[in-house]
Chain A
């Protein structure tokens, strides 16, 4: 780096710390900064003052709905093996909605029992089978709610990297999306979101291993995903 090069940038440090460089200039200054010890020292000297600026603002409470929306998204993106090791009730309690959601969870539990015990009203879309190291798990579809939809769970050897595939499924209602759920024992962990194309085809990669997973379920949830199922599953695949 030449002295002339430094001279070109030396007055930029204040603007850089205040976020006042335009986009291209910002990156250009950072490239210079990486090689210029004078600017690095100056940055170190002035950074504390810039960091203090946000402390000057009046403090306000963010609305609880902001945290709720944020954490719903976070839980929807949480890998099953990293999902909370506490019970579902604890998790919902943390989200502040336990009392409100308890009836929904009761409804889900009832629905699961119904799925297991009563085949009427459900179509078994495909029987299980092995093919080339991959097994296909039968999925039950609630034909009363999603018509002629079909679903299969394709599980590679090793039980990791499974994929849930659906076909002839109706698009979820406006503002809703399909969400996958994984049931480990009595815990139900949120999984990925997916939609379907105009032919009703869609797929979702099931994160992690299926080891310990009892069932894979699908419900229709708000577009950003949910931390808990809000309805009985429309698709259920017993692993």
Chain B
């Protein structure tokens, strides 16, 4: 928000001012059914949501379906966001992650993946247009580096679980190891990731 007299939060917020509000403030407007606030939230986080879904399902149409479902669920259950449980971005990405896992487990996405002729060459990296995006690009590098620094067996179970959508028992079967070992590696991996990222991510 810039200096001077900031716009007041309320139903009369003008379209040109809506972009000045923080996510948490916009969510208050979304809770009151303001589609412009919702649109701004999508503009800010739709790309990250799409990128996560795309990373998990591997094709554009299925990623689009999941993102559209996720944002519609956010619009329709607008009272659910609680600021004390984290940032709006993390909350949204959590919803997208959860819904993508549902799709993967219902096998809907695998089905579409087989029928999609789309190749990886159709991917287009989003351009670095703003300072915020540049910072996020740096964050992405840091998190990737931290993930790469994990012992291979911890990295593997995190990848299979978080991005592959597999359950701990599926992973145990896949890797032919006890469930307890898989769960332990997940926890140890997250703990090590936390230590690696400490101080890097605000």
Q: Do A and B come from one complex?
A: yes
Using a CB-CB cutoff of 8 Å, which residues 1-29 of chain B contact chain A? 11-12, 15
Q: Is A100 an interface residue (CB 8 A)?
A: no
> In the complex, are the beta carbons of A18 and B46 less than 8 A apart?
no
A38 interface residue, CB < 8 Å from B? no
Segment 139-173 of A: residues with Cβ below 8 Å from B: none
CB-contacts of A39-76 with B (<8 A)? 45-63, 66-67, 69-71, 73-75
Q: How many residues of A contact B (CB 8 A)?
A: 48
A84 contacts B by Cβ under 8 Å: yes
> A80 CB to closest chain B CB, in angstroms?
10
> Within the assembled complex, what's the spacing in Å between the Cα atoms of A11 and B182?
10
A13 within 8 A of B: yes
Give A61's nearest chain B residue, CB to CB. Answer: B126
Residues from 153 to 169 in B contacting A, C-beta threshold 8 Å = 158, 161-163, 165-169
Question: Is the beta-carbon distance between B35 and A52 smaller than 8 angstroms?
Answer: no
Secondary structure at the A interface, as helix, strand, loop or mixed, is helix
Q: Which residues of B contact A51 (CB under 8 A)?
A: 86, 90, 93-94
Interface size on B, residues (CB 8 A): 76
Known: A46-B194, A55-B143, A82-B33. A20 touches B171 (CB 8 A): yes
Query: Contact: A19 with B161, CB < 8 Å?
Result: yes
* A42 nearest CB neighbor, chain B only: B187
CB-contacts of A89-109 with B (<8 A): 90, 94
- CB distance B162 to A11 under 8 Å? no
Residues of B near A20 (CB, < 8 A) are 161-162, 166-168, 171, 186
The answer to the question of A231 belonging to the interface, with a C-beta cut-off of 8 Å to chain B, is no
Q: A14-B189, A53-B158, A62-B64 are in contact. Are A70 and B72 (CB under 8 A)?
A: yes
Indicate whether A53 sits within 8 Å of B136 (C-beta atoms), given known contacts A20-B168, A60-B47, A84-B36: no
Which of B32, B46, B182 contacts A62 (CB under 8 A)?
B46
Question: Any chain B CB within 8 A of the CB of A31?
Answer: no
Q: Kindly state whether residue B114 has any CB partner on chain A within 8 Å.
A: no
* Contact residue among A11, A47, A75 (Cβ-Cβ distance under 8 Å from B180): A11
| B190 and A50 contact, CB distance less than 8 A | yes
A85 at interface by CB-CB < 8 Å: yes
